[in-house]
């Protein structure tokens, strides 16, 4: 079973930056997807960014393109989400997931069963 733990959330003013980390056990697989999602109360889970290890292909939601960067460090079994130029609408609970499918990965599929496992999430709050 894949276990994932997020960290790095916090409170920041608009225009600021945060870097989220997702440490997990999916790195024993040869190829896999690491994805970041966010959710606010009453709204559906939204795919934010994803990276597939074979070729390091990435995908981003339009709302974060150019501001967020996803990366992967296999040496420390950690995926990162660098978030710059944060906006109040980026406020959410951010969680990471790991899964096997390149297609679902790059489509930012929010379907829970498309992934081996999910983290508990880390809160990001951006004030204006």
Q: Evaluate if residue 6 carries a pLDDT over 90.
A: yes
For residue 17 the two structure tokens come to 């930056």
- Yes or no: say if 32 and 77 are a contact pair by the CB < 8 Å rule: no
pLDDT band per the 50, 70, 90 thresholds, residue 119: very high
Give the tens place of pLDDT for each residue, 66-109.
Answer: 999 999 998 888 999 999 999 999 999 999 999 999 999 999 99
Number of neighbouring beta carbons within 10 Å of residue 47: 22
Tens digits of per-residue pLDDT, 7-59? 999 999 999 999 999 998 766 677 899 999 999 999 999 999 999 988 889 99
pLDDT of res. 50: 97
Q: Which pLDDT does position 58 carry in this prediction?
A: 97
Please state, in angstroms and rounded to a whole number, the distance separating the CA atoms of residues 66 and 116. 28
């Amino acid at each position: 079973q894949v276990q994932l733990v997020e960290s790095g959330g916090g409170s920041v003013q608009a225009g600021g930056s945060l870097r989220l980390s997702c440490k997990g056990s999916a790195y024993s697989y040869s190829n896999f997807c690491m994805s970041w999602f966010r959710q606010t109360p009453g709204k559906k889970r939204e795919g934010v960014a994803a990276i597939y290890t074979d070729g390091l292909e990435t995908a981003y939601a339009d709302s974060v393109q150019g501001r967020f960067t996803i990366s992967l460090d296999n040496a420390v079994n950690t995926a990162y989400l660098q978030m710059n130029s944060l906006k109040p609408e980026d406020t959410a609970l951010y969680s990471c997931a790991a899964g096997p499918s390149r297609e679902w990965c790059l489509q930012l599929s929010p379907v829970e069963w498309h992934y081996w496992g999910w983290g508990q999430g880390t809160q990001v709050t951006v004030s204006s």
